Chain A
Amino acid sequence: MPTDNRRIQGPEISTPYCVFGSSTENEDEDGCFKSTDPLSSTRKDGRALLEHRKIYMKTGVVSQAKGSAYIELNNTKVICSVFDPREIPNRVEYSQHGELFCVLKFAPFSCTTRRSHQQDAEEKELSLNLKRALEPAVCRHEFPNFQVDIYVLILESDGGSLAASITCAGLALADAHVPMYDLVTAASLGVAGDVLMKDPSEEEEKLCSQHFERSNLNHGLITVSLMGAHTQITQVWQTGSMTTTCVSESLTHLIQSCEETYPIAQRCLVKSVVDTISKKKVPEQS
């Protein structure tokens, strides 16, 4: 690894202590499998298989940004801010459509193992997916030759980071008054064998990305983002190995989840508008 003299460096090699860990509570792998036993329909955190986690959303969390949003799905916490359009740097030709510049970053402490300060391949891939998910929803012809900067920081990741980031960025864009056709909401789903799990946690995601010894079982993860009012899928991203029927079934569930999230996002935006108006009125009265 190249040395970074702009930061304080620790020793070159340091390992997370969990690697050497031994715990008397034996909950490691057994507990994980128990959670997805097809016979029991409840998961480790007490949810039913097709139950989404509770969502908390808030806009206007970063005072310095044009628009910002924060989203929390239990332990998954994501913050996003959007800035005023600026000219696309290092571009000679005129571009007909405005661009979205998306940077997604995990905080160093957001995952079970420490993340580096530099953007890694996974973060680049997620950034691209985020961009693809938002592009169709933004009226990009309204700001030709300009780019809107979207920065997403995942403070804590417990599954569904991409879905949370997309929803969060969609809200932040709306909060920044960027012209849009529709709001974007996203949801994720995990498949392990015949079991479909909505909004899987980190542990469940890991389980879904492995496969079982019995071959030819479906497994994998799907994330879908949707423009609710137009019923248009803006991005779909699947990994793993599934049959076509399984993918189609998952898509139906995911679209339903996205549609459920949509009114929550709407309410959140309405609330922020009401708040701004009432705030503006107060000084006039006094």
Chain B
Amino acid sequence: MVKSTSYLFFFISFGNFLSVYFIFQNDLRNDGRSKQDYRPIELELDIVTHANGSARVRLANTDILVGVKTEIDVPTSNRPEEGKIEFFVDCSANATPEFEGKGGQDLATEIGNYLGSSFASPLSFDLKPLCILKGVQCWKLYVDILILECGGNLFDAVSLAVKAALYNTMVPRVETVAMDGGNVDLQLSGDPFDCWRLDITNIPCLVTLTKIGEHLIVDPTAEEEECSMASLVVAVTESGRINSLCKTSVGSLHPQTLTDALKVGVEVGVGLNKALNEALGREEKRLQSNKPERFGFLK
């Protein structure tokens, strides 16, 4: 006898005859979470010394390291007043057996592309402050994303890490710019700590919504991902705007499911953004206070 609130789903992966089952009982998943709960997230800032900004996010088993490097570049001719941002995703072969060889490349391109399109709107990330001299010089941000371990829900974890790393990024201040004939003369500030920070208020967080049976869940584990037929990634800003939307798996969705999913996604996304901002604030304070006082001339 199956009660209306409890369903038993039985999925068999034919490849290795591994059977995974999930019991949705009283709206709980097999790890005790509700449908819209995230797993514990750990966040660390400023852990790569040679990067301008870095962050590490660990979402249960998913481990992401992001480093941001700034370099001076020439703006593109059709957008002379804007800087550039480029995402590069590297799936470490150790992250999951599927990434061995060239296995992770497609996924890496997918994540990179998707991040690119969620950052594309000037309303999510304004590239104008990155311009140094119109049409001649601008900052280019290289965002290197390293996937160390894959335990499901890569998109969300990557976006959190990227947002945190951009928060942490210090862009050197340019003191003087002068045109000398065709050449540009740039003078960076002499003080290495004289930097400015990027505005991350409108940077979206990605929320993956996975459909298993009739249920929509967030933050799927690797097993749950295996069982889902369709999942949707929504880029949500703190103010609840949708900056990008994409279906990422095989399978299709009914229009009504899609609209429902969007509502859930935005709700969860706003919460996630808030939680991240709070965590960033705390981490920042910890970093400030944790700086050991240094004594002696040899340091």
* Distance between Cα atoms of A234 and B229 in the complex (Å): 12
Report if A244 contacts B (CB, 8 A): yes
Report if B168 contacts A (CB, 8 A): no
What string of 1s and 0s marks CB contacts (under 8 Å) between A84-101 and chain B?
A: 000000000110100000
Contact between A219 and B255 (Cβ–Cβ < 8 Å)? Answer: no
Given contacts A121-B113, A237-B245, A239-B244, contact A251 B123 (CB under 8 A): no
A129, A239, A244, A255: the one within 8 Å of B255 (CB): A255
B95 → chain A closest CB, angstroms: 19
* Distance between Cα atoms of A238 and B124 in the complex (Å): 14
B181 → chain A closest CB, angstroms: 20
* Distance between Cα atoms of A124 and B232 in the complex (Å): 20
Report if A149 contacts B (CB, 8 A): no
Report if B243 contacts A (CB, 8 A): yes
* Distance between Cα atoms of A216 and B255 in the complex (Å): 26
B15, B243, B248: the one within 8 Å of A240 (CB): B243
Contact between B122 and A239 (Cβ–Cβ < 8 Å)? Answer: no
Contact between A244 and B242 (Cβ–Cβ < 8 Å)? Answer: yes
B113, B244, B255: the one within 8 Å of A238 (CB): B244
Q: Residue on A with the closest CB to B120? A: A239
B120, B123, B232, B243: the one within 8 Å of A215 (CB): B123
Report if B299 contacts A (CB, 8 A): no
What string of 1s and 0s marks CB contacts (under 8 Å) between B241-254 and chain A?
A: 11111111111111
Beta-carbon contacts under 8 Å, A248-265 to B: 248, 251-252, 255
Given contacts A93-B15, A209-B120, A243-B240, contact A124 B113 (CB under 8 A): yes
Report A-chain residues with C-beta under 8 Å of the C-beta of B241.
241-243
Chain B interface, >50% SS class = mixed
* Distance between Cα atoms of A229 and B124 in the complex (Å): 37
A89 → chain B closest CB, angstroms: 12
Report if B92 contacts A (CB, 8 A): no
Report if A125 contacts B (CB, 8 A): yes
Given contacts A136-B250, A236-B245, contact A244 B263 (CB under 8 A): yes
Report if B295 contacts A (CB, 8 A): no
Q: How many residues of B contact A (CB 8 A)?
A: 38
Contact between B245 and A238 (Cβ–Cβ < 8 Å)? Answer: yes
Report A-chain residues with C-beta under 8 Å of the C-beta of B243.
239-242
Report if A227 contacts B (CB, 8 A): yes
User: B: which residues have CB within 8 A of A?
Assistant: 14-15, 77, 106, 109-110, 113, 116-118, 120-124, 232, 237, 240-255, 258-259, 262-263, 266
Report B-chain residues with C-beta under 8 Å of the C-beta of A220.
121
Chain A interface, >50% SS class = mixed
* Distance between Cα atoms of A216 and B242 in the complex (Å): 12
Contact between B252 and A227 (Cβ–Cβ < 8 Å)? Answer: yes
Closest 5 CB pairs of A and B: A238-B245, A232-B252, A136-B252, A241-B123, A241-B121
* Distance between Cα atoms of A211 and B79 in the complex (Å): 13
B15, B120, B251, B263: the one within 8 Å of A136 (CB): B251
Q: Residue on B with the closest CB to A234? A: B252
Contact between B109 and A128 (Cβ–Cβ < 8 Å)? Answer: yes
Given A19-B77, A94-B15; 5 other pairs, CB 8 A cutoff: A210-B122, A238-B245, A239-B243, A247-B245, A248-B259
Contact between A124 and B109 (Cβ–Cβ < 8 Å)? Answer: yes
B106, B123, B240: the one within 8 Å of A219 (CB): B123
Report B-chain residues with C-beta under 8 Å of the C-beta of A252.
255
**Most chain-A CB neighbours within 10 Å: which of B109, B250, B251, B263?**
B250
B15, B110, B255: the one within 8 Å of A231 (CB): B255
Report A-chain residues with C-beta under 8 Å of the C-beta of B124.
241
B289 → chain A closest CB, angstroms: 36
Report B-chain residues with C-beta under 8 Å of the C-beta of A215.
123
